Structure 1
């Protein structure tokens, strides 16, 4: 096994260096342990997922068989959309005298839960994992967006794919909090609670802050939502539309189904910038918690992502993972070491040079893929066995 590199190679250097993070691609950086810190953690290498994908494929080439589509996602999306529209009709046209407190409870327990599921389906469609034809994936996203009051699906598709392409790159990853969020929220438990409640608004504001011209499908999405909202008011009621809007607010905010927004990339351990969740919430939310696996292989739909986890277990067992979305949110709000600033960033030059100037070391076995010929801790070794 060739020796690992210890420093970033100079610009223009020949591709003979090996990524020093190999084989698990955990960084050597430390997360902030100072309460007063108001800046991101910084790394000088590219994001880890593309190289871990290559290492996994070298050890387990059969993973390629998991690539593909899952049309069942569209069926689930249609059922969820009809359920939410029926609930809006019942609340706005049948149960007209229902107390607003009861309406809010239904909007949280039913509407928020379903709205969070809409986001998961939009995510699958954004990666073209529902149908082979991208056009039908866009239609799937538009379909589940209909009961959501605001246009989401096509903008999410655009910015989420950019997040995959430029993970952690300052000024290019739309998933990163803005400087104003860090300065305003920082580590205040009260402000973090309000921030989590309003997380849906923050996603919109971040997109607007990038000042990008809307694409054709985003305009189509906007026009469709305006028409659908008018039809809901005309044939149901304004109360129905309000129920749907509050449902989205809950489902993308302080709701267990929205906790994956914090779970995915906010730093809970040194050297690890992406986190998976292996709790029971994956059953209803289409395995959205398997985020390391998803970033490593965005070509695999939700129905087969657990197979990847079982095949490449020696790669994923050593990584820290969450088991409770409720704990994720609670810990994020109460810990003075966590806040919008708890993210890893890199410059674009480091992102591109890391991919260009470092190679993935060759492997001859699954265990070598993880150990890289190096000594590992007993805990990791026991998981490999």
Structure 2
């Protein structure tokens, strides 16, 4: 069985993950890095090329012996399917078509999913974004092995088995650790994938199906490319929770090896991550990194100090308390009025949202004049003390670290309609310097979808006559017989 792993628990820390702080520092020092934050125009062509290669391989595989099929599934098919898995990773960040075309990204993700054989694209996105947002969190980061894995696979031989079975743990761990409701797009992903698999079986036979599906599990198990699963976050050096790899296999994996750079700037596609390191070398050159994924796998299996427990983990309650204590005193820490996870769960692809074109609201919004930070802090804490009633969302310019847009959804609780809730959208504000960037549309879209998500039976807003055409784009209508009247105590 080999030597027993000395570590019997995770590396528990009570500090924030390092990437947000480093991102702010780099953005302040090198604002030109923002120019890298745009989609990869070639990603869709790379995906289509790899999918076509796998489909063409079926005509060769179906007539070969089982031994040849197995070898091809590991060497050729497994490598391509692993690359497609990492293409899906890129697409999950909307790096194929940008954030303004989420449905196009999801469709491309389903296409990349086809040769993989099992539907993963849509489900991967919702869990992976949590891994970025809550890196190391004991409840929300399902990238971290479970306690069962840490206890069971704690010797050299059992760690070898764990590496071989790693894709199965990645597939099923979220279902046990953090199950989520199945979305409409996940159902579509499942139907598309099963239909493709049935057609492959019908026209190319069982060997083609084996080549696809088994190639996926072989290629993401004990395979050279799978070294990135371990190299990214397993703590080979105490206190270091993210590592980059700068070897040649990045050419086959969309530069996923540039993992510190990726977590610092997840909106930059893999093809441009080397430029991040080139622009800000003082932030990356001295960080521990790897040059061989094969050696990473070997060291993980044979080193008695490394095992599934070798991950940094955080207690979310401790982190939240620290944020609340310092969010206003420091002036730049994040402090959440409500759980931001709910925004990640909004289905922009599933709902009727406004169309995004170059034209945008041309009204110049005026920013609020808050002269007292203490007054603002007191109001924030008062609103936060009444959970699930106030949902304020903001847009931040990460170059200047300034809030440039804001809007609030107020959830009113009523006795009527069997104690239903009504939503009101208030205070839609966009900095005048940022007009023409569709930020007003984004704010209203988010809060409209959010009102439905939090259970409002209807949502309303008040606006000037000339703004009616703008809000009509989101499905808002002037209901006949309804009038808005007010009695104002403070003049405009």
> Normalising to structure 2: TM-score of the pair?
0.64
Aligned to 2:9: 39
Q: CA RMSD in A?
A: 1.6
Shift of 1:248: 0.3
Shift of 1:140: 1.2
Match of 1:242 among 210, 227, 233: 210
CA–CA separation in structure 2 for the residues paired with 1:324 and 1:196: 16
Moved over 6 A (4+): none
Aligned to 1:292: 260
Aligned to 1:335: 303
Aligned to 1:207: 174
Aligned to 2:223: 255
Aligned to 1:124: 90
Residue 270 of structure 2 aligns to a residue whose secondary structure is: coil
Q: Tell whether the 8 Å contact from 2:258 to 2:273 is kept in structure 1 after alignment.
A: yes
Aligned to 1:8: none
CA–CA separation in structure 2 for the residues paired with 1:40 and 1:99: 45
> Which structure has the highest strand share of the two?
2
Aligned to 1:194: 161
Shift of 1:134: 1.1
CA–CA separation in structure 1 for the residues paired with 2:318 and 2:35: 32
CA–CA separation in structure 1 for the residues paired with 2:141 and 2:113: 23
Unpaired runs of at least 5, structure 2? 333-492
1:311 and 2:258 are equivalent in the alignment: no
Shift of 1:354: 4.9
CA–CA separation in structure 2 for the residues paired with 1:235 and 1:69: 36
Q: Tell whether the 8 Å contact from 2:7 to 2:306 is kept in structure 1 after alignment.
A: no
Aligned to 2:26: 56
Aligned ranges for residues 80-159 of structure 1 at < 5 Å?
Answer: 80-92=50-62, 95=63, 98-132=64-98, 133-159=101-127
CA shift in 2, pair 1:355/1:113, >3 Å: farther
Aligned to 1:222: 190
Shift of 1:349: 2.3
Match of 1:349 among 312, 317, 320: 317
Shift of 1:211: 2.3
Residue 259 of structure 1 aligns to a residue whose secondary structure is: helix
Q: Tell whether the 8 Å contact from 1:49 to 1:295 is kept in structure 2 after alignment.
A: yes
Shift of 1:303: 1.6
What's the CA shift string for 1:238-283, capped at 9, x where partnerless? 1111111111011111111121111100001122100000001112
Asked which structure has the greater CA Rg, the reply is 2
CA–CA separation in structure 2 for the residues paired with 1:271 and 1:58: 26
Question: How many residues end up aligned between the 2 structures?
Answer: 323
> Which structure has the highest helix share of the two?
1
